[in-house]
Amino acid sequence: MRIVSDSTAVENFKVMVFRSLDAAAREYTELARKVDELRLAQAKDSVIITNAGIDAERIRKLEAAAIAPERMRDLETKVTRLEVRSAIIGAITGGAAAILIPLAVKFFTH
């Protein structure tokens, strides 16, 4: 069984998907770090303020750490656009290769 290597378009698609996943992972890591800092601050606050009801500052910190739904939708849209573009480029490149390779082989063998 012979394994055919991926085309340039497929490789570009894989790189773009990897980059988008890497960016999402870095953003998640940063968010996790912020949440850990907020939990530590909240723990310190709860030790200092024992019988306080709702601490407005802690709520503000927790709300600031969350990823806005609009931002998440924007990231999903960008990833979808990248996938569609890569698929289109791959289809065009594959079609061009299917036409040009036989012509090139015929040209160089005759």
Residue keyed to tokens 């953003």 = 27
Q: How much is the pLDDT for 68? A: 67
Instruction: State the Cα–Cα distance between residues 40 and 26, nearest whole angstrom.
Output: 21
Is residue 73 pLDDT above 80, yes or no? Answer: no
pLDDT digits (tens, 9 = 90+) for 13-38: 888 888 888 888 888 888 888 888 88
Q: How much is the pLDDT for 51? A: 45
Instruction: State the Cα–Cα distance between residues 61 and 32, nearest whole angstrom.
Output: 14
Greater confidence (83 vs 48) lies with 83
